[in-house]
Amino acid sequence: MAYFYKGLTAVLLSSLSFFVTQKQTQELAFAGSIAGLVLVVSLVLLFGENKLFPKLRGDVIFCVGVGALLGFAVAWFLGTVIRFEELNLALYLILGLFGARAGKSFSKEPGLAIFGGGSGALPASDPFGVAPINKDEVRDKILDTSVVIDGRILDIADTHFIDGPLILPNFVLREIQLISDSSDPIKRARGRRGLEMLNKLQRKGSIEVKITYKDYSDTREVDAKLIKLARDTGGKIVTNDFNLNKVAELQGVKVLNLNTLANALKPVVLPGEELGIQVIKEGKDENQGIGYLEDGTMVVIENGGHLVGKEVKVTVTSIIQTAAGKMIFTKANSNGGSDKGDRGDRENRGNKGGDRNFDRGERNQERGEDRGNRYERQERSGEDRGNRKDFQNRNQNRGGNYQEKSEKPDDFGNRKDFQDQQQQQ
């Protein structure tokens, strides 16, 4: 749209110059050459102002040109009414300059994006519309599907690290809606998370969120549409997509990658520093372990494949930084975690062996006590048997004595018979 208005301005200026020149000179050829020259100069100035005058704003050029054109038109109308040839040139100069000045003043008004600018008021010390380049100029932030689903944009907006409105293209919103309606439960959950993040952004109001319905029917890919929209509006793309980041940078589009921001905020680790890390799993290479820092940074541990599940001390050897993330390469300390871990294993095994020996000794002692008790019971039973035998012998002896005592009356009877026989004699 800005190109259309710039071209229209050049055509109007050329037509006005032809009309004025033809009226003053009454020569069509000369008037045509002047009109062609004005047309070429206007086109060069309007479309090449970014290259020729990098500090001159396009909206100012456009408004000044339109104002001058209106001033010339008013001068022509007054010239036809007054019909005073000596004042015609003065009218054109005065009203043309007045119109240009009025157009410059009008360029300060906001909302002139359709005219090729509309960036707000100029400084009071800049009477000619020449403003210094502002590298921190607030630009629209165009949201990508990946950054909406990620959700971290909500926290960043709350911290006010991002200025300017967040632009949500309608084709990105449609893509998120399609993902939320997917039959895959994982994709469906991600899509619904993205819609929830957008609702939270709008409700909090910490930053303005606008939906643009500008679409590109000749392009099917969402990434290509985002790049075109950013080029047309001068905005920046906010994304987590590594490939979109690279393609956009190749086409001269500014990109804000949240992964790059997160990597920049991670604590700095230098080669030679010692870290305490827990080995989570084995790596792809032989005898290689993998661990992670608290911020999620992957740590590759050389000679750590046999230390899975252990907390070890490692020394940083090198660091690789990429757009996809950071990787820290380390080596397990020879006198640190690995030896201590092996020594600890041996001590644990020795303790376990000592415990087993102690348990075995207790069981043997218990068996010995059982045997001693058994021997005591056997001795007691032997004594009981001996006592019973003595008792039986005593009983037998008593029986013999009883028998002898029972025989004594017989002897007494024999003596009585003997005495009786002696008396008879």
For residue range 192-220, list pLDDT tens digits in order: 988 998 888 888 777 888 888 888 888 88
Sign of the four-CA dihedral 410, 411, 412, 414? positive
Q: 321 pairs with which residues across the strands?
A: 326
The sheet with strand 209-212 has its strands ordered as 209-212, 166-169, 141-143, 236-239, 255-257
Q: Is the pLDDT of residue 54 over 60?
A: no
pLDDT score of 129 = 42
DSSP character for 305? G
pLDDT score of 333 = 83
Torsion angles phi and psi, residue 292, rounded to 5: -140, 140
Q: Is the pLDDT of residue 114 over 80?
A: no
pLDDT score of 273 = 86
Q: Is the pLDDT of residue 406 over 50?
A: no
pLDDT score of 286 = 83
The larger pLDDT score, comparing residue 202 to residue 85, is at 202
What is the rounded distance in angstroms from the CA atom of residue 202 to the CA atom of residue 192? 16
314 and 301 Cβ atoms separated by less than 8 Å:
yes
Average pLDDT over residues 296-306: 85
65 and 46 Cβ atoms separated by less than 8 Å:
yes
Q: Is the pLDDT of residue 316 over 70?
A: yes
Average pLDDT over residues 232-246: 88
**Weakest-pLDDT range from 3-7, 56-60, 99-103, 214-218:** 56-60
Average pLDDT over residues 395-402: 50
pLDDT score of 8 = 67
The larger pLDDT score, comparing residue 381 to residue 153, is at 153
Which range of 99-108, 349-358, 375-384 scores highest in mean pLDDT? It is: 99-108
Give the pLDDT band (50/70/90) at residue 118.
very low
Average pLDDT over residues 366-379: 56
For residue 64, how far is the Cα from the chain centroid? 48
Q: Is the pLDDT of residue 233 over 60?
A: yes
Amino acid type, 72: F
Give the pLDDT band (50/70/90) at residue 234.
confident
Question: What is the model's pTM?
Answer: 0.43
Radius of gyration, CA atoms only, the chain: 54
pLDDT score of 392 = 57
The larger pLDDT score, comparing residue 362 to residue 289, is at 289
Tell me the average pLDDT of the chain: 71
The larger pLDDT score, comparing residue 207 to residue 237, is at 237
129 and 64 Cβ atoms separated by less than 8 Å:
yes
Give the pLDDT band (50/70/90) at residue 127.
very low
Q: Domains plus CATH for the chain?
A: 2-115 (no CATH), 141-264 (3.40.50.1010), 266-333 (2.40.50.140)
pLDDT score of 323 = 59
